[in-house]
């Protein structure tokens, strides 16, 4: 713990007149996991991009890797013993583990020279074994679980670094953002193993509990400044939040609204989808019903099946007297069935469309094809929607892609809130959403329930489910195994039954 | 990668509202340059060639000739914006135009009335559009491959319709339809302009036009918002084919004869116009007015160079180079903008 793997001093980066980073100092020691936290826009990505050579910092910045000063702009970072692993890992699904392992190092040969297949395989197995991961090198990546994928990505980076150096700095950019609790705890364990072998690990994230669980030290960025760096011990979410937001957050979760108030309206029986295999439940207006489970157990399909996004194999689902499984999506939307998909970039938004065009889409889809669109009125509607639901900046003509993750999610929700949903279906509503926006997103769910909507949320974030839901159903292998309510509804109880304990 | 760029854009956006007003004014100026850059280049090009060739270039005759040379290109380009807006290619436009013209020429020279011949052309176009649409949308074949196939097939059909001959001696009503003088321009030019105006209205002001673009931008999000994505994609192919087929009728009439081998000469230019047009007026989107501006810019460049003494092959070189250069410039400008922010 005495050598610094990565030492950044005086790093600033300006875009136009504003500082994305302002005189940042950051150190990651050998054998340490150093978490870098901050809201979207705090400067995390800018810092990561400086370490990948995409951005060049302002003059005066210094970078030392394992005691060696390295000049900016950073080129061929791997030659200096640093690797940045992005959230999407950059693995090729159809190719095998060993093929993926060698691809960034050109399989250790020249362009047209034959690949030493046996040597590649041995090296692949050895690298994975160092991380206590045992996978057949001929498995296609598409069959690996998230933790194995992460291990492969780290091992691959290490392979590239090994040719130039024998001590390593790994920067992992949001490696767990799209994983459930089980998978992310395995990735975190992996990071621990990597650090214990003497590497310096920088872990960029905004999931607070994880950070407390694994990091040795925590640094918090806000508005381009490192506002706090401290040694991790126990639950410090209060301190982290204070540093991230610049104010204390009195509550992490909105107050739970009253439960179901009237007769049950949503009735689902023997629903069968791809993974869901015979699920039955009812829910009422005003109720927030959670679905939990490990990745791939079927809970994530429920919102898609009920919204018509995914076709059910068999079963019945009715809202009042309407049959949800037979109606086209447009009719379901008119009934008030609204879906907030998990992959908002792909399924929830038109990234290059403006905020105005995105929030007014349901109207476009239901009006006559050749009636004139009144852009001025749309703009008014859009600005008031953006303002009402706290989408920042309140700029209806700005492209959706230019908003932060949290604000994009609020935009997707705002689009539906205007339609007064009766059944609001959500998959991972707070994924990739920072702490401040997460509260607002959850508040929108509570608000919808308060106004009488039935809210169905599938999520791998058990803590969140335990806080906002009236009832949580846990799925294993496509079937409901547990129903948790009242005092029995805790994060630990969800996790236990998700894992079949 | 997409999440990566998006998060970068997100950070940039967060910073944007902090910038000083001076920066915003410069941003607005940049946006203006982006939006009307091509129009300005078009005017500069016209000015430069007028100075260089004062006797031949800025004459009424030359301007009319330039406009008339784009007469069938304009409707073809507008046709192809429809599938492009939903994210599909249609390479069969020029093949269909010539095949439709061939069908019309053969029928009318054999005593079939213009009305019946046009009905046959309409039927052919409807069939081609529907087949393209069904193969791409329902069967799921890539649109590039599907329409490459129909393009080739239609090229063959054109020969079949004409018995591999150039058909001449078209009846006068076919010629009049395309050549009728309205305010100094033949009717075919007006058809193109009316189409541009109609497409402009539909694209910029109606739910239909916006839906097409939404599907092109995010097919799944569009479906989940209740748009009938399949039907809209098929209808884009059908309307595209119907416009291309109708253009064939005017094409036969304006040329006065029908050569089945010319289809390939009419394929690249509409695409060049549409892609170049997407860098102006409504920046980043396939749009009608931008397409018209781009086509006129290209013809000004080509005509000017030819009058200046360049060889005929210069037109292909110029069209190709202008397309690649303009699109590359638009990309670089967008990137520079993002960096500055």
Please give the structure tokens belonging to residue B258.
């029908």
Spatial strand order of the sheet with A337-340 comes to: A337-340, A423-427, A454-458, A288-292, A471-476, A479-485
Tell me how far CA of residue B272 lies from CA of B74, B285, B316, in angstroms: 11, 14, 11
User: What pLDDT is recorded for position A354?
Assistant: 93
| Same-domain pairing of A164 and A284 | no
| Same-domain pairing of B186 and B211 | yes
Q: Which residues of B touch A353 (CB under 8 A)?
A: 213-214, 217-218
The strand pairing partners of A37, in sequence order, are A205, A220
Q: Which residues of A touch B213 (CB under 8 A)?
A: 350, 353
| Same-domain pairing of A97 and A156 | yes
- Look up tokens 């009812």; give the residue: A282
Q: What chain B residue is nearest to A42 in terms of C-alpha separation?
A: B11
| Same-domain pairing of B212 and B293 | no
| Same-domain pairing of B79 and B212 | yes
Is A255 a domain residue?
no
C-alpha span between B215 and B225 (Å, rounded): 10
Which residues, other chains included, contact A235 with Cβ-Cβ below 8 Å and sequence gap of 6+?
A212
Is B110 a domain residue?
yes
| Same-domain pairing of B230 and B203 | yes
Tell me how far CA of residue A16 lies from CA of A142, A155, A205, A224, B20, in angstroms: 42, 38, 26, 14, 9
Among A212-226, A282-296, B131-145, which stretch is predicted with the lowest mean pLDDT?
A212-226
Q: Tens of pLDDT along A427-443?
A: 999 887 877 788 889 98
Tell me how many domains chain B contains: 2
Q: Is the dihedral of CA A304, A309, A310, A312 positive or negative?
A: positive
Is B307 a domain residue?
yes
Identify from B5, B8, B12, B14 which residue to disrupt to test chain A contact, counting A C-beta atoms within 10 A and taking the largest count.
B14
| Same-domain pairing of A299 and A209 | no
The minimal CB distance from A402 to the residues B13, B19, B228 is found for B13
The number of beta carbons lying within 10 Å of the beta carbon of residue A92 is: 12
- Residue A22, domain extent: 4-245
Tell me how many domains chain A contains: 2
- Look up tokens 């949320």; give the residue: A457
Is A224 a domain residue?
yes
C-alpha span between A176 and A295 (Å, rounded): 13
Does residue A73 have a cis peptide bond before it, meaning omega lies within 30 degrees of 0?
yes
Is B156 a domain residue?
yes
Alpha helix (H) residue ranges in A310-394: 329-335, 355-359, 361-366, 375-388
User: What pLDDT is recorded for position A207?
Assistant: 73
The strand pairing partners of A473, in sequence order, are A291, A483
| Same-domain pairing of A170 and A289 | no
Is A173 a domain residue?
yes
Shortest alpha-carbon distance between residue A347 and chain B (Å) = 4
- Answer whether A329's CB lies under 8 Å from A361's CB: no
| Same-domain pairing of B81 and B38 | no
| Same-domain pairing of B226 and B296 | no
- The radius of gyration computed from the CA coordinates of chain B, to the nearest angstrom, equals 22
The minimal CB distance from A404 to the residues B4, B14, B223 is found for B14
> At residue A338, does pLDDT exceed 80?
yes
A320, HSE (Cβ side, Cα atoms, 13 Å): 10
Q: Which residue, A245, A274, A309, sits at the end of a domain? A: A245
Domain with residue A160: its CATH number is 3.40.50.300
The strand pairing partners of A19, in sequence order, are A14
| Same-domain pairing of A26 and A119 | yes
Burial class (CB in 10 A: 0-12, 13-18, 19+), B73: buried
User: What pLDDT is recorded for position A319?
Assistant: 92
> At residue A1, does pLDDT exceed 50?
no
| pTM summary value | 0.79
- Answer whether A37's CB lies under 8 Å from A244's CB: yes
| Same-domain pairing of A183 and A273 | no
| Same-domain pairing of A327 and A201 | no
Task: Give the SS3 label for residue B74.
Answer: helix
> At residue A242, does pLDDT exceed 80?
no
Is A61 a domain residue?
yes
| Same-domain pairing of A50 and A113 | yes
Residue A298's nearest CA partner among A321, A319, A279 is A279
Task: Give the SS3 label for residue A68.
Answer: strand
C-alpha span between B282 and B288 (Å, rounded): 9
The number of beta carbons lying within 10 Å of the beta carbon of residue B45 is: 17
- Residue B199, domain extent: 72-266
* CB pair distance less than 8 Å for A369 and B208: yes
User: What pLDDT is recorded for position A296?
Assistant: 81
- Look up tokens 């339809």; give the residue: B177
Shortest alpha-carbon distance between residue A443 and chain B (Å) = 22
Among A179-193, A230-244, A485-499, B139-153, which stretch is predicted with the lowest mean pLDDT?
A230-244
> Any CB–CB contact under 8 A between A17 and chain B?
yes
> Any CB–CB contact under 8 A between A117 and chain B?
no
| Same-domain pairing of B168 and B250 | yes
User: What pLDDT is recorded for position A104?
Assistant: 75
* CB pair distance less than 8 Å for A333 and B9: no
Q: Which residues of A touch B284 (CB under 8 A)?
A: 352
Q: Tens of pLDDT along A37-58?
A: 887 667 888 888 888 888 888 8
A308 confidence band (pLDDT: 50, 70, 90) = very high
Among A4-13, A149-158, A397-406, B10-19, which stretch is predicted with the lowest mean pLDDT?
B10-19
Q: Which residues of A touch B334 (CB under 8 A)?
A: none
Across chain A, mean pLDDT equals 86
Is A147 a domain residue?
yes
The number of beta carbons lying within 10 Å of the beta carbon of residue A25 is: 13
Q: Tens of pLDDT along A73-131?
A: 877 777 888 888 887 788 888 888 888 887 777 777 676 777 777 888 888 888 888 88
Residue A270's nearest CA partner among A261, A262, A279 is A279
- Answer whether A37's CB lies under 8 Å from A219's CB: yes
User: What pLDDT is recorded for position A314?
Assistant: 94
Is A383 a domain residue?
no
User: How much is the average pLDDT of A164-185?
Assistant: 81
Which residues, other chains included, contact A110 with Cβ-Cβ below 8 Å and sequence gap of 6+?
none
C-alpha span between A203 and A219 (Å, rounded): 10
Q: Which residues of A touch B228 (CB under 8 A)?
A: 328, 330
The strand pairing partners of A269, in sequence order, are A316
C-alpha span between B57 and B300 (Å, rounded): 9
- Answer whether A282's CB lies under 8 Å from A170's CB: no
Q: Which residues of B touch A307 (CB under 8 A)?
A: 224
Is A370 a domain residue?
no
| Same-domain pairing of B198 and B325 | no
| Same-domain pairing of A153 and A121 | yes
Per-residue pLDDT of chain B (341 residues; tens, 9 = 90+): 333 333 333 333 333 333 333 444 556 677 777 788 889 999 999 999 999 999 999 999 999 999 999 999 999 999 999 999 999 999 999 999 999 999 999 999 999 999 999 999 999 999 999 999 999 999 999 999 999 999 999 999 999 999 999 999 999 999 999 999 999 999 999 999 999 999 999 999 999 999 999 999 899 999 998 899 999 999 999 999 999 999 999 999 999 999 999 998 899 899 999 999 998 898 889 999 999 999 999 999 999 999 998 888 888 888 888 878 877 877 777 676 655 44
> At residue A195, does pLDDT exceed 50?
yes
| Same-domain pairing of B81 and B216 | yes
Identify from A73, A361, A377, A408 which residue to disrupt to test chain B contact, counting B C-beta atoms within 10 A and taking the largest count.
A361
Is B15 a domain residue?
no
Is A400 a domain residue?
no
A18, HSE (Cβ side, Cα atoms, 13 Å): 24
| Same-domain pairing of B43 and B112 | no
User: What pLDDT is recorded for position B26?
Assistant: 56
C-alpha span between B127 and B138 (Å, rounded): 15
* CB pair distance less than 8 Å for A365 and B226: yes
The minimal CB distance from A370 to the residues B15, B206, B341 is found for B206
User: What pLDDT is recorded for position A188?
Assistant: 86
- Answer whether A382's CB lies under 8 Å from A415's CB: no
| Same-domain pairing of A229 and A313 | no
| Same-domain pairing of B303 and B207 | no
User: What pLDDT is recorded for position A187?
Assistant: 84
> At residue A17, does pLDDT exceed 70?
no
- Answer whether A449's CB lies under 8 Å from A288's CB: yes
C-alpha span between B127 and A273 (Å, rounded): 37
The strand pairing partners of A83, in sequence order, are A170
> Any CB–CB contact under 8 A between B4 and chain A?
yes
The number of beta carbons lying within 10 Å of the beta carbon of residue B109 is: 17
Q: Which residue, A245, A277, A308, sits at the end of a domain? A: A245
């Amino acid at each position: 713990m005495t050598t610094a793997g990565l030492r950044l001093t005086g790093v600033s980066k300006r875009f136009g007149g504003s500082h994305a980073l302002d005189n940042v100092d950051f150190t990651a020691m050998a054998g340490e996991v150093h978490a870098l936290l901050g809201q979207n826009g705090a400067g995390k990505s800018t810092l990561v991009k400086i370490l990948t050579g995409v951005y060049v910092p302002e003059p005066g910045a210094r970078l030392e890797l394992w005691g060696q000063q390295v000049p900016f702009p950073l080129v061929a970072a791997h030659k200096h013993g640093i690797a940045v692993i992005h959230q999407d890992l950059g693995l090729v699904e159809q190719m095998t583990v060993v093929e993926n392992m060698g691809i960034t190092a050109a399989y250790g040969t020249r362009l047209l020279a034959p690949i030493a297949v046996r040597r590649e395989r041995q090296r692949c197995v050895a690298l994975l074994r160092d991380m206590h991961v045992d996978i057949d090198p001929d498995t296609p990546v598409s069959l690996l679980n998230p933790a194995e994928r992460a291990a492969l990505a780290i091992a691959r980076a290490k392979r590239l670094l090994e040719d130039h150096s024998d001590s390593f700095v790994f920067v992992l950019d949001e490696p767990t953002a799209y994983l459930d609790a089980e998978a992310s705890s395995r990735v975190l364990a992996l990071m621990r193993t990597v650090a214990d072998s003497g590497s310096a690990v920088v872990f960029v994230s905004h999931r607070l509990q994880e950070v407390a669980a694994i990091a040795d030290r925590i640094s918090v960025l806000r508005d381009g400044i490192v506002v706090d760096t401290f040694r991790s011990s126990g639950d410090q979410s209060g301190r982290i939040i204070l540093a991230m937001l610049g104010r204390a957050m009195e509550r992490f979760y909105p107050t739970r609204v009253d439960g179901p108030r009237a007769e049950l309206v949503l009735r689902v029986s023997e629903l069968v989808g791809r993974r869901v295999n015979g699920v039955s439940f009812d829910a009422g207006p005003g109720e927030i019903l959670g679905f939990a489970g490990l990745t791939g157990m079927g809970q994530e399909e429920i919102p898609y099946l009920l919204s018509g996004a995914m076709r059910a194999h068999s079963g019945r689902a009715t809202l009042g007297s309407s049959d949800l499984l037979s109606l086209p999506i447009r009719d379901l939307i008119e009934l008030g069935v609204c879906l907030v998909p998990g992959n908002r970039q792909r399924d929830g938004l038109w990234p290059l469309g403006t905020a105005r065009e995105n929030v007014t889409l349901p109207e476009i889809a239901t009006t006559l094809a050749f009636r004139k669109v009144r852009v001025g009125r749309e703009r008014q509607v859009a600005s008031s929607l953006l303002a009402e639901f706290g989408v920042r900046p309140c700029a209806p003509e700005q492209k959706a892609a230019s908003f932060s993750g949290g604000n994009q999610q609020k935009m997707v929700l705002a689009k539906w809130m205007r339609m007064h949903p009766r059944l609001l279906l959500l998959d991972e509503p707070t994924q990739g959403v920072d702490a401040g926006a997460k509260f607002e997103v959850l508040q929108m769910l509570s608000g919808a329930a308060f106004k009488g909507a039935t809210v169905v949320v599938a999520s791998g974030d058990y803590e969140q489910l335990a806080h906002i839901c009236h009832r949580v159903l846990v799925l294993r292998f496509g079937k409901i195994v547990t129903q948790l309510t009242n005092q029995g509804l805790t994060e630990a109880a969800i996790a236990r039954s998700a894992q079949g304990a | 990668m997409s999440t990566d760029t998006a998060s970068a854009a997100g950070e940039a956006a967060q910073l944007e509202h902090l910038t000083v007003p001076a920066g915003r004014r410069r941003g607005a100026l940049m946006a203006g340059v982006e939006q009307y850059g091509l129009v300005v280049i078009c005017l500069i090009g016209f000015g430069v060639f007028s100075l260089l060739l004062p006797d031949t270039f800025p004459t009424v005759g030359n301007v009319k000739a330039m406009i008339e040379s784009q007469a069938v290109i304009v409707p073809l380009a507008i046709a192809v914006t429809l599938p492009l807006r939903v994210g599909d290619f249609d390479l069969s436009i020029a093949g269909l135009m010539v095949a439709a013209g061939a069908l019309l020429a053969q029928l009318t020279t054999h005593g079939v009335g213009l009305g019946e011949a046009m009905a046959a052309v309409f039927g052919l176009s409807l069939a081609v559009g529907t087949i393209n649409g069904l193969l791409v949308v329902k069967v799921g074949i890539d649109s590039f491959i599907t329409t490459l196939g129909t393009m080739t097939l239609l090229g063959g059909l054109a020969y079949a319709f004409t018995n591999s001959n150039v058909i001449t001696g078209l009846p006068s009503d076919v010629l009049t339809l395309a050549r009728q003088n309205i305010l100094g321009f033949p009717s075919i030019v007006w058809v193109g302009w009316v189409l541009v105006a109609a497409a402009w209205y539909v694209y910029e002001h109606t739910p239909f036009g916006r839906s097409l673009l939404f599907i092109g931008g995010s097919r799944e999000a569009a479906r989940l918002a209740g748009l009938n994505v399949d039907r809209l994609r098929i209808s884009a192919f059908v309307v595209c084919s119907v416009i291309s087929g109708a253009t064939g009728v005017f094409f036969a009439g304006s040329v006065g004869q029908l050569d089945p081998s010319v289809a390939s000469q009419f394929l690249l230019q509409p695409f060049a116009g549409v892609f170049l047009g997407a860098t102006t007026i409504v920046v980043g989107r396939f749009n009608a007015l931008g397409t018209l501006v781009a086509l006129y810019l290209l013809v000004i460049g080509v005509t000017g160079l030819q009058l200046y003494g360049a060889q005929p092959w210069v037109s292909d070189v110029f069209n190709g180079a202008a397309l690649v250069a303009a699109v590359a410039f638009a990309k670089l400008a967008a990137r520079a903008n993002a960096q500055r922010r």
